[in-house]
Amino acid sequence: MEMRKHAQIAMLLSLAVVLNIFENMIPILGGQIPGLKIGLANVLIIFTLYTFSFKDAFYLSILRVFIVSMLYSGLFSPAFFFSLSGATLSIIIMFFAKNILKLSIIGVSIAGSIFHSIGQVLVAILILGEINIIYMLPWLIIFALVAGTVVGILSKYSVNKFKMYCK
């Protein structure tokens, strides 16, 4: 059973990496806000959070950041740290939103999306030493509400289908 779970997590990780790289190629809003994307790979993170465990979802999220950074932007580049901070804060907040606040899967996704943006902006301020980046945050949060809702709906559908097939 443990081997099967590891194989499933590995497949989810592979798909998350592919989705992340694919999404990096699609400029949203004409590329006016660097790194802005819907976060389709987070469907798989939320799916893992609901069907496996927080620990598995955390590992999946962090490993995805490392692998995509190695393949796409460069390991330990500023983009890596932006992504790592957003992913880490996001998964921790989603855990609390799910288990403590008892939010719906869509609410969990929205919370994760918003805090992903907050984490990235905070680290961008630290790395770049430019406080004015904070002025991007309201726009990022508005986009995060929309993106979090889309990802949440897709996650809810995926989790429900998975549970239906496992009965």
> Rounded distance, CA 68 to CA 74, Å?
8
CATH number for the domain including 48?
1.10.1760.20
84: containing domain = 2-166
Query: Domain tally for the chain?
Result: 1
- Tell me the pLDDT of the chain (167 aa) as tens digits: 689 889 999 999 999 999 998 888 887 766 667 667 889 999 999 999 999 999 999 999 999 999 999 998 788 888 899 999 999 999 999 999 999 999 999 999 999 999 999 999 999 999 999 999 999 899 999 999 999 999 999 999 999 998 888 76
Tell me the H-state helices in the chain: 2-24, 41-51, 54-68, 78-99, 105-128, 137-166
